[in-house]
Structure 1
Amino acid sequence: MRDLAALPDLKLALVQTSMHWQDTAANHEHFSALLEQAQGADLIILPEMFTTGYSMDAVALAEPEDGVTRQWMLNQAKKLNAVVTGSLIVRTSDGSYRNRLYWARPDGTHASYDKRHLFRMAGEHKHYSGGERRVLLEVKGWHVRPLICYDLRFPVWSRDPYDTDLLIYVASWPKARRDAWNRLLPARAIENLCYVAAVNRVGMDGKGYPYSGDSQVLDFQGETLCAAQEEDGVFLTTLTGAALATYRQRFPAYQDADAFELKF
């Protein structure tokens, strides 16, 4: 079993901002400038579909799996010596379209996660294919599970009380449902006995929907460590493994968790 108390501090940078509607080049320029403020972070988290805004125009906007944004993320990761993560629209080699999160590392390697739960109220399931697997990634010894927006509403998909230190959610979660966002995030932290970092956007999208942000970092009791509210900018916070280890030793609810298997 890993010694969580021995984990080095993990510095997070949450990038909460508006974006240019369906304009990848403009968003690359916009986020490049913002990421200058994330110097010193170990993990930099961008919103869902950060190159285009949350769009169903997959055919027109999709990039190939090895497209310009993946390379942009890898370049930023190397420049900042940090993992850079966020989702975008991707066309896969089999011809399907995915809402894909890339995890770009400073050493030039990457991993990915495809959004499992597609937001049918916006018709996302008609334009994209859902992911088939969960992913557990690592940075500085920390185990991180990345998820995307609507995934937040499905606790079984997030559930892992044994080995996840940090859950991250990248989102384009509209202002009309901000109460659900702010209630579900603490629940995921509490039930999984882990940290949660969630990054949403602000501003208005090209269809006139407003976003309130509410990007935040929560500890394993659902207590707020960082709250961006509706501000535009980069928000920094630091996680400690010792605090997580102490709490899990004092309150080992994971030992009574139900065993289950996910079927596809």
Structure 2
Amino acid sequence: MQNELKIALIQTELFWENPEQNRIHFTKKIEEISKSVDLIVLPEMFTTGFTMNPKKVAETMFGETVVWMQNLALLEQTAIMGSMVISEDGKFYNRMLFVHPNGIIETYDKKHTFTLAGEDKVYTAGQSKLLVTYKGWKICPLICYDLRFPVWARNVEDYDVLIYVANWPKVRITAWDALLKARAIENMSYCVGVNRVGLDDNGHEYSGHSAVYDVLGHKLDNIPENLEATEVITLSKSHIKTYREKLNFLSDKDAFKLE
């Protein structure tokens, strides 16, 4: 177990429905990270943008992007995570991949598909949370619209870090800011959000606002708005332990279970 976890957040534009170009783009971004990091976080649907045309771009768990992630994780000796369009058993998923440095993959399928964009019509919703144990840290990865549903993120697993990847549009960015901060405070965990910037081919504008909040809701990053940026943030296990022991709010949470 290590006390510190160094996370690189990559906030960037995406090439619409072009997995190959996005892989080239992110390879360059990752190679430019000057510090040694434990985890690299990419946005939601980082190979395509938030597309409702899965038949055009879907890959399998043995496809080029998955192999690319495994190779990069091994080469850089870091974990890499982000969501992409996966085809499996005749269904399409908005799937988060957490790739460990040794190439082992853990997955989470987006639970709350975004009905406003018709995501529920073309993607199959996941049913299970994922808790990743990595270097002694417990990480809960979630995707975009999941952010609006606090019960799903409820910290019953005693996780240390809650991570959201997103294509969250500028028009509703105030909600993104408020909810990331709220999720950190109510779960007494770090909360990380990685969003994209730029315009997609549907005309939706994205302003970024990628961020990291500590257990008290303090913002730790200096990521610029509207611009491509990569920032490395160091998380501290001691910070979590100190304030959970001092305040102990999680012990007073309501007792109920999701069915």
Shorter-chain TM-score above 0.5: yes
Residue in 1 that maps onto 2:151: 156
Residue in 1 that maps onto 2:106: 111
Residue in 1 that maps onto 2:176: 181
Does residue 249 (structure 1) correspond to residue 245 (structure 2)? The answer is yes
1:18 to 5, 13, 16: 13
Residue in 2 that maps onto 1:3: none
Residue in 2 that maps onto 1:218: 213
CA contact (8 A) 1:53 1:205 kept: yes
**Displacement, 1:82?**
0.6
CA contact (8 A) 1:118 1:124 kept: yes
1:8 and 1:187 mapped to 2: Cα distance? 24
Alignment of 1:177-216 (within 5 A): 177-216=172-211
1:162 and 1:78 mapped to 2: Cα distance? 29
**Displacement, 1:162?**
4.9
2:144 and 2:74 mapped to 1: Cα distance? 27
The TM-score normalised by the length of structure 2 is 0.97
1:103 and 1:162 mapped to 2: Cα distance? 18
Post-superposition Cα deviations, 1:126-171, rounded to whole Å, max 9, x if no partner, equal 0000001000002210000000000000000000155110000000
1:83 and 1:120 mapped to 2: Cα distance? 31
Residue aligned with 2:7, SS: strand
Residue in 1 that maps onto 2:47: 51
CA contact (8 A) 1:19 1:52 kept: yes
What's the C-alpha RMSD, in Å, of the aligned pairs?
A: 1.1
Provide structure 2 residue ranges, at least 5 long, that are not aligned to the other structure.
none
Does residue 86 (structure 1) correspond to residue 86 (structure 2)? The answer is no
Does residue 99 (structure 1) correspond to residue 94 (structure 2)? The answer is yes
**Displacement, 1:200?**
0.1
**Displacement, 1:259?**
1.9
Residue in 1 that maps onto 2:59: 63
2:245 and 2:215 mapped to 1: Cα distance? 12
1:9 to 4, 8, 25: 4
1:72 and 1:109 mapped to 2: Cα distance? 13
The TM-score normalised by the length of structure 1 is 0.95
**Displacement, 1:207?**
1.1
**Displacement, 1:8?**
2.2
Residue in 2 that maps onto 1:129: 124
Give the letter for the 1:255 counterpart: S
Provide structure 1 residue ranges, at least 5 long, that are not aligned to the other structure.
1-5
Residue in 2 that maps onto 1:260: 256
Aligned residues, how many? 257
Give the letter for the 1:212 counterpart: S
**Displacement, 1:182?**
0.4
Give the letter for the 1:207 counterpart: N
Residue aligned with 1:64, SS: coil
Q: Which shows bigger deviation, 178-187 or 224-233?
A: 224-233
Give the letter for the 1:40 counterpart: S
